[in-house]
Structure 1
Amino acid sequence: MPTITTIGFDADDTLWHNERFFKMTEGRFAELLADHAPPDHLAERLLEAERRNLGRYGFGIKGFMLSMIETALDVTDNRAPGHVMRGIIEAGQEMLSHPIELLPGAEHAVEALHGRYRLLLITKGDLLDQERKLAQSGMGDWFDGVEIVSDKRPETYARIFATHADGAEQGLMAGNSMKSDVLPMIDAGGHGVFVPHGLAWEIEHADPPQERSRYHEIADLGHLPDLIAGLT
């Protein structure tokens, strides 16, 4: 098996908290529209809008805000009150300015692997928001490359690991999304490390791979250096 030379990290809900702020905002959204739709129905309509809009807006907070606005108009027959629309905008703006909260083991893992392997940050989402979060994390100087992409597919990883390193076959990708971080990296020829997070976006759900030789799972990123040491 080729020697691992390059480690890729997902950002949101792998290095720092993210989904908890979406859940908090969904709760606020339900309160704003409590007179127009029950919470469960509203959540279903919002998820439907997010699925429809991924191809239009991509991943991130701004697309989420637009999906909330669309859902608010849908459930009110285009008569959403002004205070509801204002509340959605304010909630999104708060999300875009929320301080970074690192996840357990994240800083230890990146610092321990820095200088021993090429480190890449590979994330989806809004460009400005992801750049802001990376800068606030204090870990920006530890990465040899940063890629903010519209989606994560096998060809995405093949390109990134060929551009920055020795190819996906000598790479490893760690993240909280089986669908985006693990499976496509394995399909590209590399190792995929699943780092479960307590909150998961339904759209990112996928089953683990049947072929397990390049699939790994750890409780948090603090275990990543030891896992990699056992593979190299």
Structure 2
Amino acid sequence: MLISRLSLAALLTLLSTAALSAESPNSLSADEQKQGFELLFDGSDLEGWQHNGNWKVADGVIERTGKGGDLVYDVKPVPDDFELRFEWKVAEGSNSGVYYRPGQYEYQILDNERHPNGKVADTTAASLYYCIAPSRDVTKEPGQWNTGRIVCQGTVIQHWLNGEKVVDIDYSKPDAKLTAAIEKLKKRGATLDSRGAKLKLQDHGDPVWYRSIRMRELSGEEELDQTPLKGN
């Protein structure tokens, strides 16, 4: 009887631990593990991240706390072909960004309604900042969590926001509009073959929060989503 009780207690402990893990945003699902995702932030500390003391972890969330510069994942560079998933939220009027390639490749983080950048399409949330506007605004209100996703493979760049693909370009197939956007990217110091940057979360002087940051390297031959973008 004692053994049975001990076994039951151990089983309940395991089930409780598994349930907590499943509920944590800073964990990998079974499917993500199979796909090869790595967790870049475990919810407890900023090990592997470089900063100047102006970022902290509170309740499993990365928070910008003051001036000091960007938060950089220092363990290794972003792979040439990759998928990055993350969650973010802003305060009213906040601005930040996720940098993933050299020379200002930026996934914009923004309160579209209250920040001046929200008045220009190619600087709104989930844009390839200053270059490619999202197909439409699907952001949530400040204080609510948004899901972000960046997929880069070969000459394809995709930005996703809250489960919807909002940027999708293949720069091997330029048209007049894309050519103009590429020229704007060059003004920000980037070239189309820029690779090897470290992941960076921008300190733009505003409150911003991140969690659930995970990344995987792509094979270069993954079958990517090719459905058309939805417009407003």
Superposition TM-score, scaled by structure 2 size: 0.21
Select the structure that is richer in strand.
2
Report the TM-score, using the length of structure 1 for normalisation: 0.21
Larger proportion of helix? 1
